[in-house]
Structure 1
Amino acid sequence: MPTSPRASLLLLAYLAFVSLGLPDGLLGVGWPAMRSEFGVPTEAVGVALTAGTAGYLTSSLLAGFGIARLGVGRLLAGSTLLASLALTGYALAPGLAVVVCCALVLGLGSGAVDSGLNAYAAGAFGPRHMNWLHAFFGLGVALGPLIMTGAIGAGLSWRWGYGLVAAGQLALAVAFALTVRAWRDRGPVAGRPTPPASVPVRQTLRLPAVWLGALGFGVYAAIEIGAGLWAFLLLTEGRGLGAAAAGICVSGYWVSLFVGRVVQGVIAERFGSGRVLWGSLFGLAGGAVLVALPGPAWLAVAGLAVIGFAAAPVFPLLTLTTADRVGGAHADRAIGVQIAVAGLCGALGPTAIGVLLGRTSVEALGPALVVLAVALIALQLAAIRRRPV
């Protein structure tokens, strides 16, 4: 097990994961007012989202390769400052063009923080904290709309919502800067030799386990986001559930994901990451089968709840066990690749499922999730078998 993390670093890590989720929630509530002020169509938000995704994918990939050179502390401090500046840009933006540029910068900052923190946590924190960190990301996504709603409800401009979060990010950047030295030591992992300071990049990229693991992350992201995105359509058009009830059930899916990370973090700490991870992978497949089975709405709802609870620890535990698959010397870089592929497939996977549903029927969601769940199990098996000696 990793050594116990310092309380101050653990607190900063939790706050950082909350901050990662905040901007996602701000845009959804703030966009109607932003669109009206800028005089642009509703669909123009897609340009900003595309820019943000491009920045996120780029920095999350590069961050894994830059940790050895910059150090985790400097990477987190600089990237959080970059995110704060981007959010300040949102608050001061005179038009859409500036928002798009700020979205790109925000993506660059957020991707590096996400990749850097996951790489650090994989070596320094146990499964309980790893799961709880990702649960706190969901908390940030939930708090974002409340902050923006509160600002607009108080008669303030949407710019205040971004300004408040920018101030919080700036404070977090200062905290990271003041603790740069403390982030250097992640603590040794029992039973595993200390890895060399660095290995050639080409050596990392040539490992089949790196790419098999990254594909696993991509498939997982497609399952998690795809299930949440298309569940409402299945329940209303396919299973005859009313819109209000279906909306509550979809919210329940995301709640089960949050609760699962909190609960299974404790379970993984006690019974081991490997057992919980494999149980979750097969639980995902079981939940997908329930969604795929023809039947009443409650059967699909139960399947979605199982998927949410089972999926909860998969991303954190796959990250935590990266070194077991690729070796400690390659772990930081592999995590960067994994985060980038997950971000890419988190966008492309649900889109592909949507195309499938449009060309067939909404009932194709369940079978699609079954295929993806089985593929995830197969990729995990292949990654373990191809790990370096």
Structure 2
Amino acid sequence: MYSLLLAIIYIAFISLGLPDSLVGAGWPVMHQDLGVPVAYAGIVTMIIASGTIVSSLASERVTRRLGTGVVTAVSVGLTAAALVGFSVSGSFWVLCLWAVPYGLGAGAVDAALNNYVALHYAARHMNWLHSFWGLGASISPFIMSYALTSGQGWSSAYRIVGLTQVVLTFVLIVSLPVWGKAARSAPPGHDVAGGDEQATGLEPSGRGSTHVPLAEALRIPGVVLVLVAFFAYCALESTAILWAATYLVTDRGVDPATAAAFASLFLIGITGGRFLAGFFADRVGDRHLIRGGFVTVGLGVVMLALPLETDAPALVGLVAVGLGCAPIYPAIIHSTPVNFGRRSSQAIIGIQMAAAYTGSTLAPPAFGLVSTGVGMWTFPLFLAVLAALGLLMSERLNRLVGRRAQVDEVAPPS
């Protein structure tokens, strides 16, 4: 059961990544067919992000009431319906309507699945699962390219991905009885939350367990620290994805084709880095992965900013930033039950997802304003500030958790 459900979750993560690149890949054609300015892509993505944030915050209550399996199946079903809706949308306002269930489905399943994996599977699986998400996100532009070059139009790409999600929804519904059995049949040593220390003995977050209100979760010592760290990381990643190629072309004078290739290598670095991190994540531990990731990002940013005549260090630096980013997201999620207890993990991961989407939504346009007013040369500085903020917050959290563990060790038994 344990291995069967793990295979289903791997497939689910690929499917989760599939829709994430479709809007960007197809928008150059979509906005023309819909008769709207190119800038209207921001409206669609903001609606999706808003729904994702709302459902992430509500995921703890919903998951405790229905269970992870049901939430995953329903959320993927919502996403599937939205994608099929995108494929038949003939006007921009209809597209915006379908963006609502798209965002609601994406946020709930992201929080629920990440918490389930953090509770029941080893750190290597968290890294590999997010690598599989990157695989899905990398595939969808090729689906869009095929749909456009074959003359079928952008709607065909949404239909293909939407129907794929429909099939996954059916698989998830059939697999619902497996979820609880798999958690109980996990091999010894797998029901842990990281390589640093064992999770607490509290009951896992799941169906029927006690609800943890949002206000209570935010009052837990260290939660604000991890939220800021997660916000900073996701802001860094999304800013690099959007602006890296523009920085290389406008500030470093790199050929646009070369810049585009290395911008894509940033994403490949994240995907490949997570795959590689999975082989040693259990031995190294989440804390060291987070620390090493932010330090590697910092080194890459320095290389990116070096005022040298050759562009080679800057290009290598961008790839290094991607490799550094790779383990941070999975490790922050996977360490949540260790840092805050299993009972509170679903609520806190839901808030973390909201912080992540907020950072991803706000940071790229914020840097756009900074670069317009000050200059594109601030790109490495912007990334450096975010990396330093993320590292500082994560290190403060480590010290707080360490002190709490020492107090628990010396406390007399009740």
Common fold, TM-score beyond 0.5? yes
Matches within 5 A, 1:115-194: 115-184=111-180, 186=183, 187=186, 188-189=191-192, 191-194=198-201
Distance 1:338 1:269, change over 3 A: same
> 2-side partners of 1:365 and 1:32: how far apart?
25
Contact 1:293 1:366 in 2 (8 A): no
1:236 — aligned with what?
Answer: 249
1:195 — aligned with what?
Answer: 202
Query: Which structure 2 segments of 5+ residues have no match?
Result: 204-208, 409-414
Distance 1:277 1:330, change over 3 A: same
Q: Which moved more, 1:170-179 or 1:19-28?
A: 19-28
Contact 1:287 1:306 in 2 (8 A): yes
How far apart are 1:162 and its partner, in Å? 1.5
Matches within 5 A, 1:1-389: 6-184=2-180, 186=183, 187=186, 188-189=191-192, 191-196=198-203, 197-198=209-210, 200-201=212-213, 202-295=215-308, 296-387=310-401
Contact 1:135 1:261 in 2 (8 A): yes
Counterpart residue identity of residue 318, structure 2: L
> 1-side partners of 2:59 and 2:244: how far apart?
34
Secondary structure class of the residue paired with 1:352: helix
> 1-side partners of 2:107 and 2:199: how far apart?
28
Counterpart residue identity of residue 264, structure 1: A
The count of aligned residue pairs is 385
| 1:69-119 deviation digits (Å, cap 9, x = unpaired) | 110001001111111111121122232111101011111111111111111
Distance 1:356 1:19, change over 3 A: same
Distance 1:67 1:38, change over 3 A: same
Contact 1:131 1:264 in 2 (8 A): yes
Normalised by the size of structure 1, how large is the TM-score?
0.92
Q: Which moved more, 1:347-356 or 1:70-79?
A: 347-356
Contact 1:55 1:105 in 2 (8 A): yes
Secondary structure class of the residue paired with 2:238: helix
Contact 1:53 1:104 in 2 (8 A): no
> 1-side partners of 2:388 and 2:42: how far apart?
32
Normalised by the size of structure 2, how large is the TM-score?
0.87
Counterpart residue identity of residue 329, structure 1: R
Secondary structure class of the residue paired with 1:7: helix
Contact 2:15 2:136 in 1 (8 A): yes
> 1-side partners of 2:28 and 2:259: how far apart?
24
Counterpart residue identity of residue 152, structure 2: L
Q: Which moved more, 1:320-329 or 1:200-209?
A: 200-209
Please tell me the root mean square deviation across aligned C-alpha atoms, in Å.
Answer: 2.0
Counterpart residue identity of residue 199, structure 2: R
Distance 1:206 1:19, change over 3 A: same
Distance 1:73 1:287, change over 3 A: same
How far apart are 1:193 and its partner, in Å? 4.1
Secondary structure class of the residue paired with 2:279: helix
> 1-side partners of 2:253 and 2:153: how far apart?
40
Counterpart residue identity of residue 198, structure 1: T
Query: Which structure 1 segments of 5+ residues have no match?
Result: none
Secondary structure class of the residue paired with 1:195: coil
